[in-house]
Amino acid sequence: MISSEDLIALVRNYNPKTNAEKIALAHDFGEKMHEGQFRHSGEPYFTHPVAVAAILTEQRLDDATIITALLHDTIEDTKASYGQVAELFGDEVAKLVDGVTKLTNLQLSSRETKQAENFRKLFMAMSKDLRVILVKLADRLHNMRTIKAMRPEKQAQKARETMDIYAPLAGRMGMQWMREELEDLAFRVLNPEGRQSIIRRFITLQRETGDVIHRITGDMRLELEKAGIEAEVFGRAKKPYSIWRKMEEKEQGFSRLSDIYGFRIITQSEEDCYRTLGAIHQRWRAVPGRFKDYISQPKSNGYRSIHTTVSGRDGKRVEVQIRTRQMHDVAETGVAAHWSYRDGVRSHNPFAVDPAKWIASLTEQFDAEDDHDEFLEAVKLEMYSDQVFCFTPKGDVVKLPRGATPIDFAYAIHTRIGSACVGAKVDGIRVPLWTRLKNGQSCEVITAEGQTPQVSWLEIAVTGKARTAIRRALREADRERFIKLGRELARVAFDHVGKKATDKALETAAKHMRLNDRRELLARLGSAELTAHDVVQAVYPDLAPEEGDKVSPRRAVIGLEAGQSFERAPCCQPLPGERIIGITYRGKGVVVHAADCDNLGKYDEQPERWVDLQWNTGTHPAVYGTTLELTIGNDAGVLGRICTLIGEKKANISDLEFVDRKPDFYRLMINVELRDAEQLHSLMLALEAESDVAAVERHREKAPASIAAR
């Protein structure tokens, strides 16, 4: 275990003015609180907090963060209290320790709503003080380094959580080295055979080609000396998981991968970065499409660097990153650079982003998400995506995730522009809205008054901001459409019992059904959450017809035995006037099918179950639900006219469901209550004659499992 003296020495390497007494006190306090506790490996538990603090010294973080690391498990796992920590180490440290404790209690790998809510809490903690996440990431890194002591199933759970959440989060914060190590440690657990195969191939490659890194590094240094550029050159093979991911993405074998080596050149000035780029491109051939200038267009987390890929020795591609020392500090520590110290003073790195502004930009769109799944989708999109930089016609830069479209671009500028978008030009050429934007392209959004977001846009947009705005607009538009449809359904249903669907009647129904007002009732009626029968019955229970059969089975169907009940088969929904066949079921009575129902073929070898039936036309007429499938034009008033037409034919709509919505046509299922086959025939003729009805047919479906042959 690292002693307090050794830890203080690590801090003094970058901050000679550190409060050594306070760090020593925290070390002693933490060791005392955790006394008698042990890790799965059998080591004293306090070895873990000290190791976490040591990891944070590598990022040259301030005293408060180092002390928080030493105490981060005390409130949760020991008898230490928040007040005790605040009294000894101040409110700043106590709040940080409390924040880490709350994060530890979040089960980020859980599913659905709970996971989304925990992500929301994670981002809230980040917005208060980003150092909480820095400690948590270091905590996870040390746990992954020592994960072998855990049970196999626990290892797998922690590794998946690391791969899904903590590694992408570290990358999004600009701490690429930590992301790569977390991914590789998780890869070691989740796919040990895959990792070993990559390592074996590396060893074979080195045996065949020699030390490629040493040779190329030497060549680069020589070229820079010729150009009079003072710089440091480093080379390395990429991590096993990074190579594995490239193999999966490109669907290529190891032997076909080219850019498995990476080189980094640290220059003295920004000007030297571009001079270095020229020297590298002059000596080696640049690979088209693999150049990115993050110096002129930095990432949102402050990352600046020039990336290029060139063909090196033997045609091997190598990736080269060129940056200054200050840029390198931000690239290594990301947003943590804001708290970094150098030579005893807080480092004022001009390239370090303000953490408060960074997290505000990251979480701004999430506040508008009411739906848990949508929130989770937005978070993961934001965390996982690389960025592309596009330009407005005026030259302003818009940062978007890779794969973004002109729809995302429009909403990134302003929600109003996104909602009114009807087209786009990319580099002056008109393109479809589903076009994927590339780095450096110029995009012009074409808008029109009266345009509203379309359902199809949800399949095109990728950013959380765009998808949130589209969903919100669609919900509002749907609500107004559902209210209009609900009013028509209510009018027809009330007319059916000789009453008027007045505002007062609808308000009475809403109150009876415990809804806010008549608009909510109409919206639910239009969206098929309520049936018109329910609404009529709420106001006129004595007048509303009963759903289903109005007469007893013995009176409605002839041929049943005494006491035997029947039910209509949902696959064919037979109506009076049609020839019918009954199939007997133990304990279920008789299921009545239309004589031409395809499902009767199942019972050809069971003639003992067949019952010859016929409708009793001499009884008081019942009403039976029958489903019609309609394709209608997507024009104003069409659906209202359809509902009116159904009402004029003395039929009642009991349910309505949209199956498919396109810009020009809707396909929907309408369940209507009818007396017999003659009324059905008359209704279908009237619907076919309607000019806005493209198709109408009686819906038939397969029998559900509950009516399968036994």
358-458 has which CATH code? 3.10.20.30
- Render pLDDT for 529-583 as a digit per residue (tens, 0 to 9): 777 778 888 888 776 555 443 334 445 788 887 777 888 888 899 998 888 888 8
The answer to whether the beta carbons of residues 243 and 220 sit under 8 Å apart is no
Which architecture, in CATH terms, is 194-346? 2-Layer Sandwich (3.30)
- Render pLDDT for 498-520 as a digit per residue (tens, 0 to 9): 888 888 889 888 888 888 888 88
pTM listed for this prediction: 0.53
Q: State how far the Cα of 672 lies from the Cα of 651, in Å rounded to an integer.
A: 6
DSSP assignment letter at 653: E
pLDDT at 155: 92
Confidence bin at 308 (pLDDT 50/70/90): very high
**Is the pLDDT assigned to residue 618 strictly greater than 90?**
no
Please write down the long-range contacts of 323-326, taking CB distance under 8 Å and 24 or more positions apart. Answer: 323/264, 323/265, 323/266, 323/267, 323/273, 323/295, 324/266, 324/267, 324/268, 324/269, 324/270, 324/272, 324/273, 325/266, 325/268, 326/350, 326/351
pLDDT at 23: 93
- Find the catalytic residue in 77, 371, 567, 655: 77
Q: Which residues lie across from 589 on neighbouring strands?
A: 585
- Render pLDDT for 639-650 as a digit per residue (tens, 0 to 9): 888 888 888 888
* 433-442: average pLDDT: 85
And the tokens for 162? 């690391």
The type of residue at 582 is G
- For residue 551, the number of C-alpha atoms closer than 13 Å in the C-beta half-sphere is 16
Q: State how far the Cα of 39 lies from the Cα of 41, in Å rounded to an integer.
A: 5
- Render pLDDT for 470-497 as a digit per residue (tens, 0 to 9): 888 887 777 777 788 788 888 878 887 7
**Is the pLDDT assigned to residue 113 strictly greater than 80?**
no
pLDDT at 202: 75
The answer to whether the beta carbons of residues 169 and 383 sit under 8 Å apart is yes
Q: State how far the Cα of 29 lies from the Cα of 350, in Å rounded to an integer.
A: 37
List b or e across 433-471, with b for residues whose CB sees 16 or more CB atoms inside 10 angstroms: bebebebebebbbeeeeeeebbeebeebbbbbbbbbbbb
* 404-412: average pLDDT: 92
pLDDT at 359: 59
Q: State how far the Cα of 448 lies from the Cα of 428, in Å rounded to an integer.
A: 18
DSSP assignment letter at 166: I
**More confident: 249 or 204:** 204
**Is the pLDDT assigned to residue 705 strictly greater than 50?**
no
The answer to whether the beta carbons of residues 591 and 573 sit under 8 Å apart is no
* 406-426: average pLDDT: 91
- Find the catalytic residue in 6, 35, 62, 76: 76
Q: State how far the Cα of 422 lies from the Cα of 58, in Å rounded to an integer.
A: 51
Q: How many Å is the maximal CA-CA distance in the chain?
A: 107
Confidence bin at 26 (pLDDT 50/70/90): very high
**Is the pLDDT assigned to residue 414 strictly greater than 80?**
yes
Q: State how far the Cα of 608 lies from the Cα of 605, in Å rounded to an integer.
A: 9
- Render pLDDT for 349-361 as a digit per residue (tens, 0 to 9): 555 555 555 556 5
pLDDT at 52: 94
Confidence bin at 709 (pLDDT 50/70/90): very low
Q: State how far the Cα of 629 lies from the Cα of 695, in Å rounded to an integer.
A: 8
Proportion of the chain above pLDDT 90, given as a percent: 22
pLDDT at 707: 42
Q: Which residues lie across from 261 on neighbouring strands?
A: 237, 318
- Render pLDDT for 148-177 as a digit per residue (tens, 0 to 9): 988 888 899 899 888 877 887 787 777 888
Active site annotation includes 28: no
Angle at 657 between CA 648 and CA 519, to 5 degrees: 75
pLDDT at 551: 39
Active site annotation includes 211: no
**Is the pLDDT assigned to residue 51 strictly greater than 90?**
yes
- The closest alpha carbon to 55, from 218, 170, 154, 208, belongs to 170
The answer to whether the beta carbons of residues 507 and 520 sit under 8 Å apart is no
Domain 4-190 has CATH 1.10.3210.10: yes
The answer to whether the beta carbons of residues 69 and 49 sit under 8 Å apart is yes
Mean pLDDT of the chain: 80
Angle at 189 between CA 182 and CA 301, to 5 degrees: 15
Strand residue runs (E) in 215-316:
231-237, 261-267, 285-286, 292-293, 306-311
Pairing of strands 652-661, 610-615: unpaired
* 303-329: average pLDDT: 84
Confidence bin at 49 (pLDDT 50/70/90): very high
Q: What are the φ/ψ torsions at residue 325 (nearest 5 degrees)?
A: -65, -45
pLDDT at 547: 46
The answer to whether the beta carbons of residues 321 and 305 sit under 8 Å apart is yes
> What is the length of the chain?
710
| Domain residue ranges in the chain | 4-190, 194-346, 358-458, 463-544, 553-615
